[in-house]
Structure 1
Amino acid sequence: MIYTKEHIEQLNRITRLKIINSVSGIKPANLIGSINNNGQTNLAIFSSVIHLGSDPALLGFICRPQISEVGHTYNNIQENSQYTINHIHPEFVKNAHYTSAKFDGDISEFERCNLSEEYVKDFKAPFVKESSFKIGMRFKEALDIKLNGTILVIGEIEHLILPDTAIVDEDIDLEATNSIGISGLNSYYSLNKIEKHPYVRVNEVPEF
């Protein structure tokens, strides 16, 4: 099957969303927790978290166009600069999925989707207690993507909380964390490690 640009444009909205959201392959599934200055918490599922650099330790994620009905995550981050990124595990994937609903701003997805808030000292934003792999972030920069009105939100890691068993040979074994991936709008995948290879140096590249 071959889709041209014209074919893609003629697809109905939901079909186009599902297909184009899947073409990049399996992506990390994360819950981003935030809180506004009135103490109202928010939790939303994202599949767009990306690594941007290790020194400083930067992660980014994409926010959709900001309209009055949505955008609570971004608005909260703008208010107090702190937010959390939490891996999703099979035990609560259904709860996590339904945080994608467009709830009113005065409804906390933590409560509505039966997930628990967890806090660490001197950090305002809520973590997801059910997640064993959590990252506390501080906002650094937002870049407008003019082509579609989305925003690349860039933050620096301030807290990294993960199981001791997840660190293997100075590396993170994502299979051991039992974290899951996502494709499209509503398909979830388990992660299985296939192989591990050494850090690549030119003089060590084998003949294929």
Structure 2
Amino acid sequence: MTFSKADLKELEHLYRINLVNSCSGFKSANLIGTTSKSGQQNVTVFSSVTHIGSNPPLLGFFCRPTTVIRHTYNNIKETGVYTINHIHKSIIEDAHHTSASYDETISEFDVTNLTSEIKENCIAPFVKDSPVQLEMKFITEYPIKENGTILVIGEIQHIHVNQDIIEADGFLNLSKANVASINGLDTYLLPVVEKRLDYQRPKSL
């Protein structure tokens, strides 16, 4: 099948959303934890966390347009601190439920079996038992004028990781921890390492 740009405009709304959201491939599955200035905790699933650079260690994620209240974005702008936590097999359903729209006075930790974990000198909550927990500091943001989304960029302050998934060269073998990925909006997968390949250099001709 082939879909032109014009075809996409004519598709039924949900069909178009599912098609376009899944065509980019597998995405990261993370829970971003924040705390408001008043101390209210928030945790929400994101599938857009991406590596920006290693030195300094920067990660980015996309926020949807702020035409409605975005608790995660607002809390980050207020405090400058947030956490990124990998979703793993045993918390998939609870993690997905955090996509529901609750009032800002209700913490997703209170309506799921997810457990908040506070670590020293970090006001934002981590998700307890997540095999990879990242403490982040807000650095900057870039509005995407074409659709009103916002690219939020943060710097890693601390990495907390289960020791048994770290390889000798520093590589995190996420499959050992049953870390999930997302296809589209609502489908979760458990990737398995097929093969690691050496750094590639040009062949001699």
What is the RMSD computed on CA atoms of the aligned residues? 1.3
Q: How much has 1:133 moved relative to structure 2?
A: 1.1
Q: TM-score, normalised by structure 1?
A: 0.95
- State the alpha-carbon separation in 1 of the partners of residues 10 and 109 from structure 2: 37
Q: How much has 1:52 moved relative to structure 2?
A: 0.2
Range moving further from structure 2, 172-181 or 95-104? 172-181
**Structure 2 counterparts to residues 72-91 of structure 1, below 5 A:** 72-91=71-90
Q: How much has 1:109 moved relative to structure 2?
A: 0.7
Q: How much has 1:203 moved relative to structure 2?
A: 4.6
**Structure 2 counterparts to residues 64-143 of structure 1, below 5 A:** 64-68=64-68, 70-143=69-142
Residues 133 and 177, structure 1, Cα contact 8 Å, conserved in 2: no
1:51 aligns to 2:51 (yes or no):
yes
Residues 84 and 134, structure 1, Cα contact 8 Å, conserved in 2: yes
User: In the comparison of the two structures, how many residue pairs are matched?
Assistant: 204
- State the alpha-carbon separation in 1 of the partners of residues 19 and 7 from structure 2: 12
- State the alpha-carbon separation in 1 of the partners of residues 71 and 48 from structure 2: 17
- State the alpha-carbon separation in 2 of the partners of residues 169 and 18 from structure 1: 39
Q: How much has 1:157 moved relative to structure 2?
A: 0.3
Aligned partner of residue 98 in structure 2, secondary structure: helix
Question: Which position in structure 2 is the counterpart of 1:26?
Answer: 26
Q: What do the CA deviations read for 1:93-150 (whole angstroms, capped 9, x no partner)? A: 0000010011111110111122111011111100000312111100000000000000
Q: How much has 1:177 moved relative to structure 2?
A: 2.4
- State the alpha-carbon separation in 1 of the partners of residues 198 and 64 from structure 2: 37
- State the alpha-carbon separation in 2 of the partners of residues 94 and 82 from structure 1: 26
Q: What do the CA deviations read for 1:22-54 (whole angstroms, capped 9, x no partner)? A: 011111100000001100011110000000000
Aligned partner of residue 75 in structure 2, secondary structure: helix
Question: Which position in structure 1 is the counterpart of 2:186?
Answer: 186
| AA matched with 2:75 | N
1:154 aligns to 2:153 (yes or no):
yes
Aligned partner of residue 139 in structure 2, secondary structure: strand
Structure 1 stretches lacking a partner, 5+ long: none
Aligned partner of residue 111 in structure 1, secondary structure: helix
